[in-house]
Amino acid sequence: MGLVDGRVVVVTGAGRGIGRAHALAFAAEGARVVVNDGGASPDGSGGTAGPAGLVVSEIRALGGEAVANTDDVADWDGAARLVSAAVDSFGGLDVLVANAGFLRDRMLVNLSEEEWDAVVRVHLKGHFAPLRHAAAYWRAEAKAGRARSARVVLTSSGAGLLGSVGQGNYSAAKAGILGLASVAAAELARYGVLVNAIAPAARTRMTEGTFDMTAPASGFDAMAPENVSPLVVWLGSVESAGVTGRVFEVDGGRVSLADGWRHGPSRDKGTRWEPAELGPVVASLLASAPSPEPVYGA
């Protein structure tokens, strides 16, 4: 018996990298997996059914159950078909892991409207659309007296937590995913759905062009994508009961809980401030607060 034995899991962007590692890890723990991937290049162009099909073949060769899906997760109808693929193939849906995305890196002064729209679409809408259709399914199940112990894991990034120079579009989208996770956790709790987010660091097609993540010749490979998946599998299991609305950073053998935005020092005059009064007020607030974490690449 695996940790997620019999649970039905959708993993988006599961043809390569971290998503592939998630799909294989869930299958190894007994889950039935819908492997979603459109087979696009790292910048989102092109597409092929090959990567999703290969992962399905890997899972089946190991004795697991899986089906492939190549729908565009940022397309409304495609996201609906993805959720339907889980229900039609395996009789339900228990876990959604939203992971799909690509990069169009550029400094802000050179970032085009198309590059902004494409990245925000695949990351932010590509998380929202499958979540929206999955949530509707779970709400209907709950109202019919068949509430499932459902789990959602959304994929943000250190760029979403702190920002990353040259990745304004990606950073904004990944920060938006953190806000989406918080709202979804609050709204979907009544249906038994727990929602968390991760900010992983690993060697993928997206990161290898930006950071030096060369695999070591021997020893522990801290940047292997497989290091991220154990936490995601646990979050997708019934063992994670009570854990929701949280953000976890994970890389190598490290798991940490991100602190997020919190209310900080304040000064209340009891009435409206005059503009000229606020210089000393802001100075005192800054003096009593920790300095922000640096932006990646700054």
Catalytically annotated residues = 157, 170, 174
Write the Ramachandran bin of 163: left for phi over 0, alpha for psi from -120 to 50, otherwise beta. left
Q: Which two tokens stand for residue 223?
A: 């940047």
58 within 8 A of 47, measured Cβ to Cβ:
no
Read off the amino acid at residue 287: A
What letter would DSSP give residue 270? Answer: S
| Nearby residues of 50 by Cβ (< 8 Å), 6 or more positions away | 15, 39
For the chain, the maximum distance between any two Cα atoms, rounded to a whole number of angstroms, is 71
Whose CA is closest to 3, among 236, 195, 244, 248? 236
C-alpha 175, offset from chain centre = 11
Phi, psi of 150 (to 5 degrees): -80, 150
178: Cα within 13 Å, side-chain hemisphere: 23
* 3-class secondary-structure state, position 130: helix
Q: Which two tokens stand for residue 224?
A: 């292997």
Q: Which two tokens stand for residue 9?
A: 């899991």
Rounded distance between C-alpha atoms, residue 260 and residue 161, angstroms: 8
205 within 8 A of 40, measured Cβ to Cβ:
no
- Across the beta sheet with 247-251, the strand order is 65-69, 32-36, 8-12, 95-98, 151-155, 194-200, 247-251, 254-257
